[in-house]
Amino acid sequence: MISSCVWPSSYAFTAVIKACAELSALGFGRVVHCHVLAFGYGLNVFVQASLVSFYAKCGELGVARKVFDAMPERSVVAWNAMISGYEQYGYANEAVGLFCRMRDLGVEFDSATFVSVLSACSQLGAIDLGCWVHKYIRSHGLKLNVVLGTALINMYARCGDVSKAREVFDSMKEHNVGSWTAIISGYGMHGYGKEAMELFELMKSRGPTPNSVTFIVVLSACAHAGLVQEGREAFATMTTDHGLVPKMEHHVAMVDMLGRAGLLDEAFQYIKDIDSVRPSPAMWTALLGACKMHKNIKLGVQVAEHLLAAEPEIPGHYVLLSNIYAMAGRTDRVEVVRNMMIQKGLKKQVGYSTVEIDQKTYLFSTGDKSHPEATAIYQFLDKLMQRSRAAGYVPVCESVMHELEEEEREYSLRYHSEKLAVAFGLLKTRLGMTITIVKNLRMCEDCHTALKFISLICNREIVVRDKLRFHHFRNGSCSCMDYW
């Protein structure tokens, strides 16, 4: 168009920029941006919004924000594009922050705004804001379409309230594969395998045809609830009844399911059969986790060696192997693994936990003393652990063995981030109130045990969302029934 000397309209630009966004064609998009300025469309609101969206989708959030900030007048679409960009790239706090600014400025929201904000709430476990959005939607009579409804289901499930998620699902007039998948996944995350399977049956009898994602979710639900037979059947019907070809994700879920159930040899054979065709470290990782869970040192070491050869740069593999050695009391091997990590310059991912109190989110990391009330929190936690010990709690020395410095070991075990967050939550909330913690990694066995005791001695319900799933602690036991 340009070489033919035809003057492009703003419409031509939005279309091309949108195409660049979909292709993640950053370089070409930049050139188009130059043309936008050359042709004098730099101040066109539609073109600007498409540029914000383009840069955001390409992960260039700083540039997107520059274009966004430079807009003399911002349409709701531009706000949405910016919020969505932050959310998609994991900057949920920034997404929420921008949403709050929008609210303060009195900008009118639309359903796209809410979808992105609800996803951000899901990431953060920010149920208070999520509920606020839900109330706003209801009080303003906004129509609950499938996309918005699914975002709500997802928010409630990931923020710990799966029955609310179900209410939303039931109240929706229209369902598609996505909304069914979302609610099944929600039950699965909470360890409610039976409910997940009942819904799956209902879906098959009177809902839309399940797709590949649905089966990942179903298999994962089975894996976390010990429903091996159900999982096997679902996997089989995937091909026979639905003509779907199992992808690597399904195989990983199958290995995970067999491994968690203690069928380690079968899981091992399963991998060998598939790995010869398509090698997949993810399957080995799942098996390694299972070896640790069932304390099978011999197989674990074998699997870990295989895995380290395939993916030498992933710190998590070394951590798992070292944990396995630690459980076996092989301190010498723990040292070796630790030195391998140091040599490769690999660092353990830093764990942190957040707790929301009065709509404010507080973040704790291991041994964290940055909180102004740190002294009180630590003292209270020490007292809690003392009382737990009196009630029968015995510390589980497992992952600690891996800490770099000698004195850090005991220290970091005692002050893992979730314990600090729980102590703070107990100090700041009244009896009868549930404490909800969001953690970026999986819980360690010691914290899991400790929280069971804390729930008992304090007579409190504690909900922890770890990287993968939910734990509801009540009266000294956990909803996962110690089956992670």
User: Interaction with DNA in 260-299: which residues (CB under 7 A)?
Assistant: 281-282, 285-286, 289
> Closer to DNA at the Cβ: 137 or 435?
137
From the CB of 197, what's the least distance to DNA, in Å? 15
Determine if 185 is a binding residue for DNA (CB under 7 A): yes
Q: Quote the least distance from Cβ 386 to DNA, whole Å.
A: 30
Q: What crossing angle do the helices spanning 127-139 and 146-158 adopt, rounded to 10°? A: 150
Strands 360-365 and 352-357: antiparallel
Q: Each residue of 354-381: b (16+ CB within 10 Å) or e?
A: bbbbeeebebbbbebeeeeeeeebbebb
Q: Residue 357 belongs to what H/E stretch? A: strand 352-357
Of 44 and 436, nearer to DNA (C-beta) is 44
Q: Is 9 helix (H, G, I), strand (E, B) or coil?
A: coil
Q: Is 252 in the site for DNA (CB under 7 A)?
A: yes
Alpha carbon distance 417, 404 (integer Å) = 17
Site string for DNA, 391-420 (x = CB under 7 A): ------------------------------
223 binds DNA (CB under 7 A): yes
Q: Which of 472, 453, 460 is nearest to 431 (CA)?
A: 460
CA distance 256 to 271: 11
217 belongs to the binding site for DNA (CB under 7 A): yes
Which lies closer to DNA via its Cβ, residue 83 or residue 377? 83
Beta bridge mates, 470: 465
The whole-angstrom separation of Cα 231 and Cα 221 is 9
Least CB distance to DNA at residue 179 (A): 6
Among 320, 381, 420, 456, binds DNA (CB under 7 A): 320
Q: From 128-136, 174-182, 333-341, 368-376, give the range in contact with DNA by CB under 7 A.
A: 174-182
Among 319, 423, 443, 464, binds DNA (CB under 7 A): 319
Q: Which of 253, 261, 274, 438 binds DNA (CB under 7 A)?
A: 253
**Beta bridge mates, 465:** 438, 470
Report 68-107 residues binding DNA (CB under 7 A). Answer: 75-78, 80-81, 84, 88
CB of 5 to DNA, least distance (A): 21
Element (H, E) at 251: helix 248-260
CB 446, CB 413: distance < 8 Å: yes
Cα end-to-end distance, the chain, whole Å: 59
| Site size toward DNA, by CB under 7 A | 69
CA distance linking residue 412 with residue 404, whole number of Å? 11
Cβ–Cβ < 8 Å for 324, 300: yes
Site for DNA in 14-73 (CB under 7 A): 14-15, 18, 21, 44-47, 49-50, 53, 57
User: Residue 277 and residue 243: Cα distance in Å, rounded?
Assistant: 21
Of 56 and 463, which CB lies nearer to DNA in the complex structure? 56
- 310 near DNA, rule: CB under 7 A: no
The contacts of residue 277 (CB under 8 Å, 6+ apart) are none
- Contact (Cβ atoms closer than 8 angstroms) between residue 160 and residue 470: yes
What string marks each residue from 368 to 387 as x (binds DNA by CB under 7 A) or -? Answer: --------------------
Q: Which is nearer to DNA, 213 or 396 (CB)?
A: 213
State the residues that interact with DNA by CB under 7 A: 10-11, 13-15, 18, 21, 44-47, 49-50, 53, 57, 75-78, 80-81, 84, 88, 110-113, 115-116, 119, 122, 146-148, 150-151, 154, 176-179, 181-182, 185, 188-189, 213, 216-217, 220, 223-224, 248-249, 252-253, 256, 281-282, 285-286, 289, 314, 316, 319-320, 442, 467-468
